[in-house]
A and B are shown apart, each in its own frame.
Chain A
Amino acid sequence: MAEPMLELRNLRKNYGALVVTDDVSLAVNSGELHAVIGPNGAGKTTLIHQISGMLPSNSGKILFAGEDITQLSMPQRVAKGLARSFQITSILPGFSALENVSLAIQARSGSSFRFFGNAAQERALNEPAMDCLTHVGLSARAHIPAGLLSHGEKRQLELAIGLATEPKLLLLDEPLAGTGHDESQRVVETLRRLKGRLTIVLIEHDMEAVFSLADRVSVLVYGRLIATDTPERVRANPEVRAAYLGEEEMV
């Protein structure tokens, strides 16, 4: 087996006495779509913050494609190919959808210490940005200020921004939360198309989506990983059933 794309070793995070990430060790294989599920407050978002470099860890190691990135800043990790979306939508509301994406392209293509030339007119940035928008089904809304998009469209935009950084690993924090049925279908379709092309860590509450998309599922409860396995086995795991999955959610 090739070396994992992402490896967490005894990762820990606590706020005072509250341990939010409790000795988490996990290996995400290259090309895998790995879902992380768990009840609210389990520490899923915190885990994404730690992996993406937004929050420091108290102890433990994060390896990305075999390299220790524990001490790197978020922009440094992005440069290595690690992108993320946010549970609470984070976009540039005053910029058009296209410019939101094209800034992400800009971050990867040449120096941004250029003081001349209109960046908004640069085809070399706009065309790949438009491709990303097309990919998530948002090209028709490219020139709308991002702040005016619907909630679901903003979620799609976040996905497009993440893709524009050309990641090897994409961390998605509840991309379906709060989206309508159609939009949610569109995001699921996009993820299905992306599957295999890059490694994805997906946090999601929509169990139908999780079980249809994921190669493997990890279950996080009170900051601890209680299971990592194929969707079928996780669903059958009595400990998981007891700790998390309500009977009605067991599709």
Chain B
Amino acid sequence: MTELVETSSAPALSLGRRLEIVPIVLFAAFAAAPLLAMLSGAEGYVLSLLTRVMIFGIAAMSLDLILGYGALVSFGHAAFFGLGGYAVGILASHGIEEALIQVPVALAASALFALVTGAISLRTKGVYFIMITLAFGQMLYFLATSLAAYGGDDGMTLASRSLLAGSTALENDFALYGFCLLCLFGVYAFSRSLVVSRFGRVLRGTRENALRMEAIGFEPFRYQLTAYVISGMMAGLAGCLLANQAEFVSPAFMTWQRSGELIFMVVLGGLGSLHGAIIGAAAFLLLEEFLPEILHMTSFFLAEETRSHLAENWKMVFGPLLILIVLFVRGGIMGLLRRPRHG
């Protein structure tokens, strides 16, 4: 019988191993990208774009943790972006530029906000949960616009990037890129561990059948709230990084559209695989960046005037394109990657 228990997970494991190739390739690509950036001749542009991809990857992954594994549709996740960003901005404007202070403050603020808003939101279910997280997000957005001392509507420019243990290393774009990659990997590794842990199993069980979980003695609320706090902290970290990448913070960090984009990235990449969220963020941002050119190139058969119109109004194509992908590629991009193997 003991043998049975051990051989048990063999099929699941080999399936898991086969899919491990995706995150390995993904992280290898991120690691190799700076070299390609140097060769491309537009290294500043490429680096900043990919740094943004990784930052949004962290945020999307944090959302996947509660959305994909907990079925909690938070429509206010950009609020944590804002909290992280403003923690950096406000502290910097008071002369505290050390990341070793800024980041813990940002994480603590995110955790507190998640704890309070989560404790209220998680009392509700379904569409009410979506609406109430949206409302809390908007609350924070309007608070930010009213912070006249910190730029109000316009936001504020950072004098410089954060110090790292006193050093100005992050001023270098390669160093910032490396730092973001490290954060992305750290958050990914922790999340992977989390979802298969005892805690993650309770979270996944609650997603499938909360009543059954209660009937074996779990209080779903405690686990969901903890997951919400962890997720909020991860997104807060992404906010710190985004402020450094943009060297600017503004209420635009936390618009509800941004929250919607995060949901879109997660669904686009494929719910509940973590690296899918990173891929979704990459696909979203790269498509947003290059769609005008792609449209211009692929519409060679049209008149020049129409082509430039099309490229200008690329958003008219972007929205429907995303919707088509989500509708017809079940399981998002990860679903697409898995499909050929399953036949």
Instruction: Please tell me which stretch of B77-85, B105-113, B196-204 contacts chain A, meaning at least 4 of its Cβ atoms lie within 8 angstroms of it.
Output: B196-204
Does the CB pair B197–A117 fall under 8 Å? yes
Report how many residues on chain B are interfacial, defined by Cβ distance under 8 Å.
33
Q: Note all chain A residues with C-beta closer than 8 A to B219.
A: 73, 75
The answer, yes or no, to whether A66 is at the interface (CB within 8 Å) is no
Q: Note all chain A residues with C-beta closer than 8 A to B1.
A: 127, 130, 134, 139
Q: A90-B215, A91-B212, A134-B1 are in contact. List 16 more A-B contacts (CB 8 A).
A: A54-B214, A54-B215, A74-B214, A84-B215, A92-B212, A103-B213, A106-B201, A107-B217, A107-B218, A108-B217, A114-B197, A115-B197, A115-B199, A118-B196, A127-B5, A161-B212
Report how many residues on chain A are interfacial, defined by Cβ distance under 8 Å.
47
Residue from B205, B209, B215 within 8 A of A83 (CB atoms) = B215
Give Cα A170–Cα B8 distance, bound, in whole angstroms. Answer: 29
Residue from B2, B194, B204, B215 within 8 A of A74 (CB atoms) = B215
Residue from B12, B190, B209, B218 within 8 A of A75 (CB atoms) = B218
Does the CB pair A115–B208 fall under 8 Å? no
Q: Note all chain A residues with C-beta closer than 8 A to B193.
A: 115-117
The answer, yes or no, to whether B159 is at the interface (CB within 8 Å) is no
Give Cα A83–Cα B212 distance, bound, in whole angstroms. Answer: 11
Enumerate the 3 nearest inter-chain pairs by beta-carbon distance, A residue then B residue, closest first.
Answer: A78-B217, A107-B217, A104-B216
The answer, yes or no, to whether B223 is at the interface (CB within 8 Å) is yes
Q: Interface of A with B (CB < 8 Å)?
A: 52, 54, 73-75, 78-79, 83-84, 86, 90-96, 98-99, 103-104, 106-108, 111-123, 126-127, 130, 134, 139, 142-143, 161, 164-165
Helix, strand, loop or mixed for chain B's interface? helix
Residue from A54, A99, A115, A164 within 8 A of B194 (CB atoms) = A115
Does the CB pair A75–B196 fall under 8 Å? no
The answer, yes or no, to whether B226 is at the interface (CB within 8 Å) is yes
Q: Interface of B with A (CB < 8 Å)?
A: 1-2, 4-5, 8-9, 11-12, 190, 193-194, 196-202, 204-205, 208-209, 211-219, 223, 226
Give Cα A111–Cα B201 distance, bound, in whole angstroms. Answer: 13
Give Cα A164–Cα B215 distance, bound, in whole angstroms. Answer: 12
Give Cα A48–Cα B171 distance, bound, in whole angstroms. Answer: 65
Tell which of A91, A121, A164 has the most Cβ of chain B within 10 Å: A121
Contacts A113-B199, A115-B199 given; does A123 touch B5 at CB 8 Å: yes
In chain B, what residue has the closest Cβ to A93?
A: B208
Give Cα A126–Cα B6 distance, bound, in whole angstroms. Answer: 9
Tell which of B2, B205, B217, B219 has the most Cβ of chain A within 10 Å: B217
Q: Note all chain A residues with C-beta closer than 8 A to B8.
A: 96, 98, 126, 142-143
In chain A, what residue has the closest Cβ to B208?
A: A92
Does the CB pair B218–A112 fall under 8 Å? yes
Give Cα A205–Cα B218 distance, bound, in whole angstroms. Answer: 31
Q: Note all chain A residues with C-beta closer than 8 A to B218.
A: 75, 107, 112
In chain B, what residue has the closest Cβ to A79?
A: B217
